[in-house]
Amino acid sequence: MRINPSKKIKGSITIPPDKSISHRSLILTGMARNESTISNILESDDIKSSLNAMQKLGATFLGDFKEMTITPFKKPVSSQLNCENSGTTTRLLSGVVSSYEGIFDFIGDDSLSTRPMKRISEPLTKMGSQFVWQSKEGFLPFTIKGGKLRGIAYDNIKRSAQVKSAILLAGLRADGTTIVYEQTKTRDHTERLLTQMGADIRTGEGKVEIRASEIEGLKMTIPGDFSSAAFFLALAACHEHAILEIKNCSTNPSRTGLFEILSKMGADVSLSNEHQDLEPYGDITIKSSQLTGIQIPDHLIPNMIDELPLIALLGCHANGKTTVRNASELRVKESDRIAILCEMFKNIGVSITELEDGFEIEGPQTIKGGVAESHHDHRMAMLAAVCGVLSQEGVQIKNHECVSVSFPSFFETLQTITG
């Protein structure tokens, strides 16, 4: 797909529903004691992976992604779960099935099969689950033999919300107390949902504790995904003639590090109509901005892990140096996002320094344009598109279709604001 430069960015848009909350809403309601109704679920490949897996386990889903009624399973059926490209499906469901008697086979696509799984097998095995690696130790495909679990205390050193969630979901049916410590807070959607659903869960400074409990069904509406909105926020901040409004977007503080960074870099960005719901949301307005380079504070790295490649784009338009460090987790996402980012920037005429655990970029620079390869990573395809709009000569994206993982209507939305 070819993306041409655009003279202005203008409009008011809504963003598809939050991916992390959509996964959790389907998984947690599928384990509840009674029915739930969820509105505005993300209709994307990743969420279909969670939905299909939960169906295989015996939960039933009626309606469509606009509004779905979920009838939970009583006890999950031993089955093969194809998690396709979704790390969240694999890791959260591993926690769920570990606490039930049965044999559960997990498989995924080529990208998912290279992503590390020891981070969940280690704590879950300590709790009493059994993992059998079918091909290579620590990677998909694997089999889980579930059963009676015991609570553990675990330090979430990977700073991963998926790891924390897997342990909490296993802890929901384990003997004793399960505690997850985290020095740096990661996204808290699992804790919010579990609390709302009546689980025996306590969140304190630097830790979450859970005890065995039944959870009740719920009714909720999912707000727009801040991580998807992030592409448009970065685009508007960097563009010379931009004014953009994003409506009903999640403003969960464990996700909005990029908002803080945009403000610190000098962006003209503001929040209005904020609603304090189970998951908070509001409207964001952003305009063309004069940006200044920044070093991203370490405590915000997990908070904005999926938005970090966009920091390179902001850094490219900012005065001075912008640095991201302590972010080696980016190397084990849907692709090696540090390597792919640096390759992409070089190919479109931007100079960037690759670091072991991040990158450094000196601005301001102009994006010349050229060919950008997504390596089938949805967020890298969307980054390439935004670079194209800001470039002198346009960007041709190779393998752009993967945006369907999190934002199937991305190119249509981009078209509405660029004309």
Q: Is 66 exposed, middle or buried (0-12, 13-18, 19+ CB in 10 A)?
A: exposed
Q: Is 53 in the site for ligand S3P (CB under 6 A)?
A: no
Shortest CB 317 distance to ligand S3P, Å = 24
Q: Is 88 in the site for ligand S3P (CB under 6 A)?
A: yes
Shortest CB 86 distance to ligand S3P, Å = 9
**Cα–Cα distance, 82 to 84 (Å, whole number):** 6
Shortest CB 363 distance to ligand S3P, Å = 26
Q: Residue 279 in contact with residue 306, Cβ under 8 Å? A: no
Q: Is 348 in the site for ligand S3P (CB under 6 A)?
A: no
Nearer to ligand S3P, 184 or 221 (CB): 184
Q: Which tokens go with 41?
A: 């679920």
Q: Is 329 in the site for ligand S3P (CB under 6 A)?
A: yes
**Cα–Cα distance, 371 to 68 (Å, whole number):** 41
Q: Is 162 in the site for ligand S3P (CB under 6 A)?
A: yes
- Which residues does residue 250 pair with via DSSP β-bridges, in sequence order? 281
Q: Is 250 in the site for ligand S3P (CB under 6 A)?
A: no
Helix or strand holding residue 216 (H, E): none
Shortest CB 22 distance to ligand S3P, Å = 9
Q: Is 36 in the site for ligand S3P (CB under 6 A)?
A: no
Nearer to ligand S3P, 10 or 331 (CB): 331
Q: Is 335 in the site for ligand S3P (CB under 6 A)?
A: no
Nearer to ligand S3P, 20 or 129 (CB): 20
Q: Which tokens go with 278?
A: 């189970």
Q: Select from 343, 345, 311 the least CA-distant residue to 327.
A: 311
Q: Is 378 in the site for ligand S3P (CB under 6 A)?
A: no
**Cα–Cα distance, 296 to 326 (Å, whole number):** 10
Catalytic residue among 18, 225, 306, 377: 306
Query: Judged by CB under 6 A, which of 40, 160, 252, 322 binds ligand S3P?
Result: 160
Query: Judged by CB under 6 A, which of 161, 310, 344, 385 binds ligand S3P?
Result: 161
Q: For the segment 184-223, give every residue that binds ligand S3P (CB under 6 A).
A: 186-187
Q: Is 256 in the site for ligand S3P (CB under 6 A)?
A: no
Instruction: Give residue 364's identity as a one-letter amino acid code.
Output: P
Nearer to ligand S3P, 6 or 156 (CB): 156
- Per DSSP, the three-state class of 289 is coil
Q: Which tokens go with 292?
A: 């200044």
Q: Is 255 in the site for ligand S3P (CB under 6 A)?
A: no
**Cα–Cα distance, 244 to 307 (Å, whole number):** 19
Q: Is 99 in the site for ligand S3P (CB under 6 A)?
A: no
**Cα–Cα distance, 30 to 40 (Å, whole number):** 17
Q: Is 6 in the site for ligand S3P (CB under 6 A)?
A: no
Q: Is 182 in the site for ligand S3P (CB under 6 A)?
A: no
Count of beta carbons in the 10 Å neighbourhood of residue 188: 21
Q: Select from 153, 173, 176 the least CA-distant residue to 215.
A: 173
Query: Judged by CB under 6 A, which of 20, 89, 178, 404 binds ligand S3P?
Result: 20
**Cα–Cα distance, 44 to 17 (Å, whole number):** 10
**Mind giving me the DSSP string for 39-61?**
ES---SHHHHHHHHHHHHHT-EE
**Cα–Cα distance, 220 to 5 (Å, whole number):** 39
Stretch that binds ligand S3P, among 157-165, 167-175, 239-247, 249-257 (CB under 6 A): 157-165
Q: Is 173 in the site for ligand S3P (CB under 6 A)?
A: no
Distance of CA 89 to the CA centre of its chain: 11
18 carries an active-site annotation = no
Nearer to ligand S3P, 29 or 186 (CB): 186
Site string for ligand S3P, 297-316 (x = CB under 6 A): --------xx----------
Q: Select from 405, 404, 400, 406 the least CA-distant residue to 381.
A: 400
**Mind giving me the DSSP string for 172-196?**
TTSBSEEEEE-SS----HHHHHHHH
Q: List Cβ neighbours of 52 (8 Å cut-off, separation of 6 or more).
A: 82
Q: Is 46 in the site for ligand S3P (CB under 6 A)?
A: no
Nearer to ligand S3P, 164 or 247 (CB): 164
Shortest CB 189 distance to ligand S3P, Å = 7
Catalytic residues: 306
Residues near ligand S3P (CB under 6 A) are 20, 23, 88, 160-162, 165, 186-187, 305-306, 329
